[in-house]
């Protein structure tokens, strides 16, 4: 959520900056709701003062010769009218506040000044490429055909069990998927200094509001039936970032920032994506990620985004998977993000780069929603944290990349050297 004081003071400038995200901020509607709320509060304060004064008038009326009972009746009639007006104003103020809150929750984060202009992914700007796509001397297959030939990757079985956009893995394929997960966790913990955390795979609505998935993206979520009002997590970003919700961290416990790594399944309805990537594991309802989350003091976030992105890149480099890094343009930038790097791995089966990690700096946008703060020892006052997160990496898509980039002419798959210790020393599927 944006700072309402910032909008009050610079509404037109905020609206102009949000145009980069292709968001039309209605300044007039904001000002009207804000004025309605302030006016109702002002009138309420005036009536409260009037009620306080009215309660003292009984004695004054008696001194003027009016009988006590009559004086009480007069004052009570006045108080009843004031109470009626107060109730009406309370309803008006509540309605205005709720409408203003809904408007504030619908406004995306302001993009960083360095975010390029553009309407969609075609305008994203390439920052670097790493590695050279392998030149094959045989006909390249995509991961679906490779998985079928090697065995252990079954989409038809998953469709029978559940439906479309799911996969069943067995044997060495399941082990390779698990090996990738463990390799990523070990790298981020042992080499990059992240603290591993295990979290629930179901969250409440407050957690989703805190990170920006609600209310805007409810159709993309799986909501569970029952009294609890729980949702399946779309990414570990939600439960891990909410560790800091409604919390004030002291300087000693925050240090140079909190750094978490977390492996979870992720669940997305993929609303609006019908017809896209229906083949294979690129876009599924259930998939797994190793997520990196940082919570730092203001001023550190930009540098921490660079480091977090490099940590995600390290996984691709250790697996010797060619990739490119792009900065997202305004039209492709996420709702809560100020700045985002996408890492796109080369998939020979598609002859194109596909997203495998998205690393974003959110500034204090999520922290304001969550009231995630730290106490500045110089002032003694709480200040909002800055949050950063990214995939390190999406496990299923990394499996896809390994199957396609390491396929062999005889229908097998070489195992990247970095994964062989996790595969019992095996060098090939």
For residue range 254-290, list pLDDT tens digits in order. Answer: 999 999 999 999 999 987 666 677 789 999 999 999 9
Q: What percent of the chain has pLDDT over 90?
A: 83
Residues 109-136 have pLDDT tens digits of: 999 999 999 999 999 999 999 999 999 9
What SS3 state is found at 81? helix
Instruction: Find out whether 374 and 358 touch, Cβ atoms under 8 Å.
Output: no
Q: What is the mean pLDDT of residues 295-311?
A: 97
**DSSP assignment letter at 17:** H
The helix (H) or strand (E) run that includes residue 388 is strand 386-394
pTM greater than 0.85 (yes/no) = yes
> In terms of domains, do 41 and 70 share one?
yes
Q: Which two tokens stand for residue 186?
A: 């070990």
The helix (H) or strand (E) run that includes residue 353 is strand 352-361
Residue-averaged pLDDT of the chain: 93
Asked if pLDDT for residue 62 goes beyond 60, the answer is no
> Is 12 contained in some domain?
no
> For 183-279, where are the E strands, in sequence order?
195-196, 202-204, 230-232, 247-249, 258-267
Q: What is the mean pLDDT of residues 226-238?
A: 95
Asked if pLDDT for residue 67 goes beyond 70, the answer is no
Cis peptide before 187 (omega within 30 of 0): no
> Is 414 contained in some domain?
yes
Using pLDDT thresholds of 50, 70 and 90, give the confidence band for residue 102: very high
Asked if pLDDT for residue 24 goes beyond 90, the answer is yes
> In terms of domains, do 101 and 144 share one?
no
Residue in the block written with tokens 């980069």: 20
Q: Which two tokens stand for residue 234?
A: 């779309």
> Is 333 contained in some domain?
yes
Q: What is the pLDDT of residue 56?
A: 65
Q: What is the pLDDT of residue 94?
A: 86
Instruction: Give the whole-angstrom CA distance, residue 395 versus residue 266.
Output: 11
Residues 168-188 have pLDDT tens digits of: 999 999 999 999 999 999 999
Using pLDDT thresholds of 50, 70 and 90, give the confidence band for residue 61: low
> In terms of domains, do 130 and 169 share one?
yes
Instruction: Find out whether 40 and 96 touch, Cβ atoms under 8 Å.
Output: yes
Asked if pLDDT for residue 75 goes beyond 90, the answer is no
Q: What is the mean pLDDT of residues 106-111?
A: 97
Q: What's the domain count of the chain? A: 2
Asked if pLDDT for residue 58 goes beyond 70, the answer is no
Question: What is the domain range of residue 410?
Answer: 121-423
> In terms of domains, do 101 and 143 share one?
no
> In terms of domains, do 98 and 244 share one?
no
Q: What is the mean pLDDT of residues 221-229?
A: 93
From 74, 105, 136, the end of a domain falls on: 105
> In terms of domains, do 52 and 97 share one?
yes
> In terms of domains, do 223 and 76 share one?
no
Give the CATH number, domain containing residue 158: 3.30.930.10
> In terms of domains, do 240 and 372 share one?
yes
Asked if pLDDT for residue 68 goes beyond 80, the answer is no
Q: What is the mean pLDDT of residues 379-390?
A: 97
* Phi, psi of 209, rounded to the nearest 5 degrees: -65, -35
> In terms of domains, do 69 and 218 share one?
no
Asked if pLDDT for residue 18 goes beyond 80, the answer is yes
Q: What is the pLDDT of residue 60?
A: 61
> Is 377 contained in some domain?
yes
Closest Cα to residue 201, out of 164, 168, 165, 240? 240
Instruction: Find out whether 14 and 25 touch, Cβ atoms under 8 Å.
Output: yes
From 105, 137, 154, the end of a domain falls on: 105
Instruction: Give the whole-angstrom CA distance, residue 343 versus residue 346.
Output: 10
């Amino acid at each position: 959520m944006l700072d309402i004081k910032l909008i009050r003071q610079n509404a037109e400038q905020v609206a102009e900056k949000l145009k980069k995200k292709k968001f039309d901020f209605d300044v007039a509607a904001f000002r009207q709701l804000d004025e309605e709320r302030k006016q109702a509060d002002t009138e309420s304060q005036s009536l409260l003062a009037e009620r306080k004064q009215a309660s003292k008038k009984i004695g004054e009326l008696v001194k003027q010769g009016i009988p006590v009972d009559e004086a009480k009746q007069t004052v009570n009639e006045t108080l009843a009218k004031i109470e009626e007006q107060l109730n009406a104003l309370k309803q008006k103020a509540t309605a205005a506040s709720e409408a203003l809150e809904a408007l504030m929750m619908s406004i995306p984060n302001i993009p960083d000044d360095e975010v390029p202009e553009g309407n969609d992914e075609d305008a994203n700007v390439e920052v670097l490429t790493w590695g050279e796509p392998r030149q094959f001397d045989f006909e390249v297959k995509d991961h679906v055909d490779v998985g079928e030939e090697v065995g252990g990757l079954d989409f038809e079985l998953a469709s029978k069990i559940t439906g479309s956009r799911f996969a069943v893995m067995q044997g060495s394929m399941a082990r390779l998927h698990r090996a990738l997960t463990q390799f990523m966790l070990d790298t981020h913990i042992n080499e990059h200094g992240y603290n591993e955390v295990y979290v629930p795979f179901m969250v409440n609505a407050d957690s989703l509001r805190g990170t920006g998935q609600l209310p805007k993206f409810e159709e993309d979520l799986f909501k569970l039936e029952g009294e609890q009002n729980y949702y399946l997590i779309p990414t570990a970003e939600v439960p891990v970032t909410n560790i800091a919700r409604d919390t004030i961290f002291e300087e000693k416990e925050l240090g140079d920032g909190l750094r978490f790594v977390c492996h979870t399944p992720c669940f997305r309805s993929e609303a609006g994506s019908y017809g896209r990537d229906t083949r294979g594991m690129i876009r599924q309802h259930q998939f797994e990620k190793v997520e990196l989350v940082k919570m730092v003091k203001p001023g550190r976030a930009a540098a921490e985004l660079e480091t977090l992105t490099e940590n995600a890149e390290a996984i691709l480099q250790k697996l010797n998977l060619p990739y490119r890094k792009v900065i997202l343009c305004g039209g492709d930038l996420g709702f809560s993000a100020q700045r985002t790097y996408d890492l796109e791995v080369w998939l020979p089966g598609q002859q194109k780069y596909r997203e495998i990690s998205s690393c974003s700096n959110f500034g204090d946008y999520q922290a304001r929603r969550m009231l995630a703060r730290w106490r500045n020892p110089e002032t003694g006052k709480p200040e909002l944290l800055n949050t950063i997160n990214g995939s390190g990496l999406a496990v299923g898509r990394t499996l896809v990349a390994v199957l396609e980039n390491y396929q062999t002419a005889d229908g097998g798959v070489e195992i990247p050297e970095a994964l062989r210790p996790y595969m019992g020393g095996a060098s090939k599927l």
